Amino acid sequence: MTDEKPETVADLVASMKPEVYQKLKLAVEIGKWESGEQLSQKQTANSLQAIIAYESKFVEPEHRIGFIEKASLKKTPCEKALTAITTDRNN
């Protein structure tokens, strides 16, 4: 990141280096900064916002935090019923 203070999350993300992203991820994962100081709730929330914004711009979807590949999931009974209803309407 530069010495200039970013005005928006978009500015922050545009100036964020991959190393900073990795450090934020680790801090959120363990709940502490590198110094050992505990993250506050606000710091955690802000860090998560920055991580998500960074990932949406620079990280492929399958490598983002929380990614679930829907193709590998089994359909629930509700989803099966909805698919059947939708298919019947389209025929």
> What residue ranges do the domains of the chain occupy?
9-90
pLDDT at 36: 97
Instruction: For residue 78, count other CB atoms closer than 10 A to its CB.
Output: 8
Q: Could you tell me the pTM of the whole model?
A: 0.66
- Tell me the per-residue pLDDT of 9-48, one tens digit each, with 9 for 90 and over: 788 889 999 999 999 999 999 999 999 999 999 999 999 9
**C-alpha span between 2 and 21 (Å, rounded):** 14
Q: Where are the alpha helices (DSSP H) in the chain?
A: 9-15, 18-30, 41-58, 77-90
* pLDDT at 71 exceeding the cut of 80: no
pLDDT at 89: 62
Which pLDDT band, with edges at 50, 70 and 90, does 68 fall under?
Answer: confident
Which pLDDT band, with edges at 50, 70 and 90, does 84 fall under?
Answer: confident
Q: How far is CA 56 from the centre of its chain?
A: 7
pLDDT at 47: 93
Mean pLDDT of 75-85: 74
